[in-house]
């Protein structure tokens, strides 16, 4: 009797038998699922109906149960047990997830790759059962540049290359100019970038044909809107964060009102206001482009979020840092620039990255005021009578692009974190 119970309880003594039998059972369950999914062969068809479907799960569970040996001495086995096989419930979840992936793989692969079409340049080419990447191919330029005239696309490309190159100037600045770095990025760089984009993409002078902002669109518009909102909302947020902690009541309450107002209204109404209501309050002869209004609206909106994130960082600094800076004779600005902000901003990198990612993913909302960036172009393209029925391909394409952008940004924020990490 005792021996049978021992037999069911794996331990270090019978580890060899148990791990071999366990591995074998798990392998059997995996082979069953894989052959089922990929080869459409049901190895267990001799079993009654419901048991056939549950067979791999049961066998796999028994197998994992037999492999669950504490401190087996085998590093790989221990790692497996610690991470995905701590108890029966975890083992069940592991198997379910594994099986779902295996089951879903053949269909999604054949839809996305094996049965997909990419040749041709009209809807007629897409006769297969798979995805119609032809649609993306044909619309690619529209998705990237919107309604911007094809022959001028080089202007957008050149402008972007210039703006990116200017962004790297900071890395190559000489040491004696380094103290102007912040000034460069906060004021000079945005102004130059604005001029580059205005003269190259808008045109209208230097022999370049004028292209109105209504024609801008696609991914390039996503970049333009995100770029300006990001570089303006950060310093603005910093000012309001400091303002909210100010000792001067007027500044303090203005900051609080500002932050609470913008955090309280939905972005979509702000965008509506900026494009519909705002021009009504302006004098007749005063003209402000819709795109500029939208960028200002998003900047003001996101600045409020930035401000609260930065305030969190300011509050987490111990009071001693303020005392020490003051006792050395530093005034408010010197104290903040050299002592407080460098530490606080370092602490809020994850939070700021969060806000920035949200901002980039909020840009599709500008569709409501008639500006079509990537997701907006997608919405236009899918309602084109010649190309009905390919929304899925479009959304997959857009999500991949957005994922790449956002993943790059979060990776960059991790790098920054690691770079500025100091021991406390």
Partner 1 sequence: MSDPIIKIQNMNKWFGDFQVLKNINLEVEANKKIVVCGPSGSGKSTLIRCINRLEEHQEGDIIVDGNELSEKTKDIEKIRAEVGMVFQQFNLFPHLSILDNCTLAPIWVKKMPKKDAQELALDQLKKVQIDDQANKFPGQLSGGQQQRCAIARALCMQPKIMLFDEPTSALDPEMIKEVLDAMVNLAKGGMTMIVVTHEMGFAKEVADEVIFMDEGMIIERADTKEFFANPKSDRTKLFLSQIL
Among 54, 177, 323, 392, binds partner 1 (CB under 8 A): 323
Contact 118, 133 (CB under 8 A): yes
Query: CA 313: distance to chain centroid?
Result: 23
In sequence order, which ranges of 126-248 are alpha helices (DSSP H)? 133-145, 153-167, 181-183, 189-197, 218-244
Query: Nearest approach, Cβ of 178 to partner 1 (angstroms)?
Result: 12
Q: Is 205 in the site for partner 1 (CB under 8 A)?
A: no
Angstrom distances, CA of residue 87 to CA of 55, 65, 340, 388 = 20, 8, 48, 50
Among 103, 245, 326, 361, binds partner 1 (CB under 8 A): 326
Q: Which residue has the tokens 């911007």?
A: 148
Question: Which H or E element spans position 217?
Answer: strand 217-217
Nearer to partner 1, 97 or 181 (CB): 181
Task: Count CB-CB contacts under 10 A for residue 307.
Answer: 27
Angstrom distances, CA of residue 181 to CA of 81, 175, 178, 281 = 51, 10, 5, 38
Query: Nearest approach, Cβ of 347 to partner 1 (angstroms)?
Result: 10
Q: Is 246 in the site for partner 1 (CB under 8 A)?
A: no
CA neighbor of 227 nearest in space, from 147, 306, 163? 163
Query: Nearest approach, Cβ of 242 to partner 1 (angstroms)?
Result: 18
Number of residues that bind partner 1 (CB under 8 A): 22
Q: Is 65 in the site for partner 1 (CB under 8 A)?
A: no
Stretch that binds partner 1, among 128-136, 313-321, 367-375, 405-413 (CB under 8 A): 313-321
Q: Is 422 in the site for partner 1 (CB under 8 A)?
A: yes
Question: Which H or E element spans position 269?
Answer: helix 267-272
Among 321, 395, 401, 406, binds partner 1 (CB under 8 A): 321
Site string for partner 1, 209-238 (x = CB under 8 A): ------------------------------
Q: Is 127 in the site for partner 1 (CB under 8 A)?
A: no
Q: Is 180 in the site for partner 1 (CB under 8 A)?
A: no
328-387 positions binding partner 1, by CB under 8 A: 328-331, 334, 338-339, 342-343, 346
Instruction: Please list, in sequence order, all residues whose beta carbon lies within 8 angstroms of the beta carbon of residue 390, skipping any fewer than 6 positions away.
Output: 126, 132, 135, 382
Q: Is 38 in the site for partner 1 (CB under 8 A)?
A: no
Nearer to partner 1, 173 or 337 (CB): 337
Spatial separation of the C-alpha atoms in residues 70 and 394, rounded to whole Å = 49
Q: Is 182 in the site for partner 1 (CB under 8 A)?
A: no
In sequence order, which ranges of 69-152 are alpha helices (DSSP H)? 75-84, 88-109, 133-145
Among 320, 386, 418, 419, binds partner 1 (CB under 8 A): 320
Query: Nearest approach, Cβ of 392 to partner 1 (angstroms)?
Result: 49
Nearer to partner 1, 341 or 372 (CB): 341
Nearer to partner 1, 318 or 389 (CB): 318
CA neighbor of 170 nearest in space, from 158, 160, 182? 182
Q: Which residues partner with 423 through β-bridges? A: none
Spatial separation of the C-alpha atoms in residues 346 and 313, rounded to whole Å = 8
Query: Nearest approach, Cβ of 423 to partner 1 (angstroms)?
Result: 3
Spatial separation of the C-alpha atoms in residues 201 and 214, rounded to whole Å = 12
Among 324, 392, 400, 404, binds partner 1 (CB under 8 A): 324
Nearer to partner 1, 153 or 346 (CB): 346
Contact 347, 315 (CB under 8 A): no
Q: Which residue has the tokens 């570089």?
A: 231
Q: Is 316 in the site for partner 1 (CB under 8 A)?
A: no
Q: Is 249 in the site for partner 1 (CB under 8 A)?
A: no
Query: Nearest approach, Cβ of 412 to partner 1 (angstroms)?
Result: 20
Q: Is 416 in the site for partner 1 (CB under 8 A)?
A: no
Question: Which H or E element spans position 372?
Answer: strand 372-373
Residues that bind partner 1 (CB under 8 A): 318, 320-321, 323-331, 334, 338-339, 342-343, 346, 420, 422-424
């Amino acid at each position: 009797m005792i021996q049978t119970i021992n037999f069911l309880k794996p331990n270090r003594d019978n580890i060899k038998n148990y791990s071999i039998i366990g591995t074998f059972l798990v392998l059997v369950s995996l082979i069953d699922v894989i052959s089922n999914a990929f080869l459409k062969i049901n190895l267990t068809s001799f079993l009654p109906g419901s048991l056939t479907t549950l067979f791999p799960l049961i066998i796999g569970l028994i197998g994992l149960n037999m492999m669950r040996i504490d401190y087996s001495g085998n590093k790989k086995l221990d790692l497996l047990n610690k991470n995905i096989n701590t108890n029966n419930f975890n083992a069940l979840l592991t198997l379910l997830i594994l099986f779902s992936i295996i089951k879903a793989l053949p269909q999604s692969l054949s839809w996305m790759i094996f049965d997909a079409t990419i040749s041709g340049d009209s809807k007629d080419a897409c006769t297969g059962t798979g995805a119609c990447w032809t649609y993306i191919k044909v619309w690619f330029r529209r998705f990237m540049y919107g309604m911007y005239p094809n022959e001028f696309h080089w202007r957008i490309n050149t402008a972007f290359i210039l703006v990116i190159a200017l962004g790297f100037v900071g890395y190559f600045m000489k040491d004696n100019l380094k103290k102007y770095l912040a000034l460069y990025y906060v004021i000079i760089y945005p102004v130059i970038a604005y001029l580059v984009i205005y003269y190259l993409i808008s045109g209208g002078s230097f022999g370049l044909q004028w292209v109105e902002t209504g024609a801008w669109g696609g991914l390039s518009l996503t970049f333009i809107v995100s770029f300006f909102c990001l570089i303006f909302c950060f310093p603005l947020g910093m000012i309001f964060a400091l303002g909210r902690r100010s000792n001067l009541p007027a500044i303090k309450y203005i900051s609080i009102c500002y932050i609470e107002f913008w955090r309280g209204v939905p972005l979509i109404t702000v965008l509506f206001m900026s494009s519909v209501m705002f021009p009504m309050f302006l004098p007749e002869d005063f003209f402000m482009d819709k795109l500029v209004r939208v960028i200002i609206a998003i900047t003001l909106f996101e600045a409020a979020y930035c401000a609260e994130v930065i305030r969190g960082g300011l509050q987490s600094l111990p009071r001693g840092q303020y005392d020490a800076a003051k006792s050395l004779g530093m005034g408010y600005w010197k104290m903040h620039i050299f002592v407080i902000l460098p530490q606080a901003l370092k602490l809020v990198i994850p939070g700021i990255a969060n806000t920035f990612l949200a901002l980039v993913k909020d840009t599709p909302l500008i569709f409501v005021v008639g500006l079509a960036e990537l997701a907006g172009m997608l919405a236009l393209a899918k309602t084109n009578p010649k190309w009905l029925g390919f929304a899925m391909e479009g959304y997959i394409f857009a999500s991949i692009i957005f994922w790449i952008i956002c993943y790059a940004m979060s990776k960059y924020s991790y790098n920054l974190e690691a770079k500025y990490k100091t021991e406390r």
